[in-house]
Amino acid sequence: MIWILAKKDLRLLVRDARALVILLAMPLIFILVLGVSLGEGFGQKAADKLRVSVLNLDEGLPRYFDRPAMLRDGFSWLTNTPGLIQGGGSGFVPAIGAMAQSLANRPGWFPQEPWSQLVLRDLSETANIRVEMIASREEAEQLRKSGRRAAVLILGPSFSKRVERCSFLATGWRDRILQGCAFPRPGDPVLLALAGFFEENQTTLPLYLEDGLNPFYRDGVRLETLDVQVIRDPTQQTAAAIIDQVAQGTMLRIVMPWMIGRAFEKIGDPAFLTILGQEEQLPGMVKTFLTSPLVPPQQKKALSTGLQGALQNIFPKYNLTAKTWAALTKELQRQGGGAETVDFTEEGAGWLKRGAIRYQLLVPSYLVMFAFFLVLTVGWLFVAERRQGTMKRLVAAPLMRWQILLGKLIPCLLMSLFQGFFILLMGRVLFGMSWGPAPWYLMLLVATTSLAAMGLALLVAAIARTETQVAIYGTLLVLVLAGLSGSLMGDRALMPEQMQRISRVTPHAWALDAYRQLLTNPTPELLEVLRACGVLVGFGVGFVLLAWWWLKLD
């Protein structure tokens, strides 16, 4: 008898083909409209939303000189051995000595890679930041103009050359030559040609690496001095300002230790002692020691080393010879603290953005929401039975109340299961969603969600006496539960944390949390999914028992 009742109601449900099509099409329409309307950040974790898009055009440093430190080390060697130059010996001796000094110091040259790589590493190791690499300037401009990126950080071709020149020292050699400091006739063609060797766009000699750039000013780092640019979307000023500050922080951590370390090293340079010996306020004995040709260079060098050690002891919390922020502050180097650096790729494919992460959330959200829309259908079935008098005939038949209730539940449950599996299938076919690493658990989740929904539907049908009551009770209940659980907005993670806990009073919330585990987690917590399914079964059984107690068969 139970199956006979079920078949009768199932025929009634299937007979209205138009209503059946609308029931199946409505959730897909909602998913389609929201899927093409929502932005790319929808459905991503909070940490993923702080994305820094970077275009790296840095050309690095000339490879055949390998490191600009070769010049610095070479000239340092010549300064330490003035006798070779003053003695008028072979010109090859100073050159060979300078080269030997450079090669001996080669393992200690910093950095051993383009400066842009240090910037990218710093960004990628910063917590809650995801670095995205852009392929070309045209693509960066297109992303900015279309509003898909609030800002793009561009490291220009001369970035490494500019950072290498950053120093607390005075203006560099090129400026001195152009000002006529080295030759008597400013504007002389030979003078201008010599100054050309210091242009950063030439690769004949790496003389552009002379010191003198100061990138700091009142508000932080002057990015244009480092050949760095942040192109901004004027309609997203707040988001662009955040990315600009991220760039400022990274440049400060990269450039400041380099400048401090180089400045501290100058204390050990004989040229520093020469300058110190020219100070008028210096005591006579000290000045005599520094300027006397009778004092061996080794002793002067020892004085420089002693000064360095004394300053280091005054500031024991910092390593003043360091070239990185972690080494300067004596902190452990962070390893992998941020998100992985990725190349820019379009989210989803085509007009529908098939395969985008948003569908992993939208499809289950509206699957759950419209499973509970069947409350209205079940309620109208019961009201029709009462209005047509067939309910009284069922009471007169040799049937128990639970048998009647079960006969009504089975066809609605089958309809709900068909709707759930149909939406999942269309989500895969139309929207390119993935079923996750454990698709078989989806079947269990759809079944338990349908049980909870149909249990609530029977409860509403047992309480409502007319079509109007069914419409009012059912619609109000469905919308309130959908809004409270977060299924109406498509992503429960958008709700405040406290509200997410409160929403656990609804079966929707348990179902959505389980779907999120199965569809967005690469390694889903299956025990959490099973626990959610158990809670949904509890909701369903509880609703059915309340409906059995409340139902009046008259």
Is residue 273 within 8 Å of 300, Cβ to Cβ? yes
| Residue 449 pLDDT | 94
CA 108 from chain centre, in angstroms, equals 34
Q: What's the whole-model pTM score?
A: 0.55
| Residue 311 pLDDT | 81
- Alpha helices by DSSP H, listed for 267-318, are 270-277, 284-291, 297-314
Is residue 123 within 8 Å of 129, Cβ to Cβ? yes
Residue from 380, 372, 363, 499 nearest 423 by CA: 363
| Residue 90 pLDDT | 46
Is residue 212 within 8 Å of 162, Cβ to Cβ? no
Structure-block tokens of residue 48: 């993923």
| Residue 441 pLDDT | 93
Helix axis angle, 467-485 relative to 440-463, nearest 10°? 140
Q: Give the Cα separation of 465 and 320 in Å (integer).
A: 83
| Residue 96 pLDDT | 55
- Residue ranges, the chain, pLDDT below 50: 45-48, 63-67, 80, 82-92, 182-184, 336
- Position of tokens 């759809």? 446
Region for 137 from its dihedrals, namely left if φ exceeds 0, alpha if ψ lies in -120 to 50, beta otherwise: alpha
Structure-block tokens of residue 483: 């809004």
Amino acid type, 271: A
Burial of 468 per CB tally in 10 Å (0-12, 13-18, 19+): exposed
| Residue 227 pLDDT | 92
Amino acid type, 201: N
- Alpha helices by DSSP H, listed for 38-114, are 46-49, 69-80, 82-86, 92-104
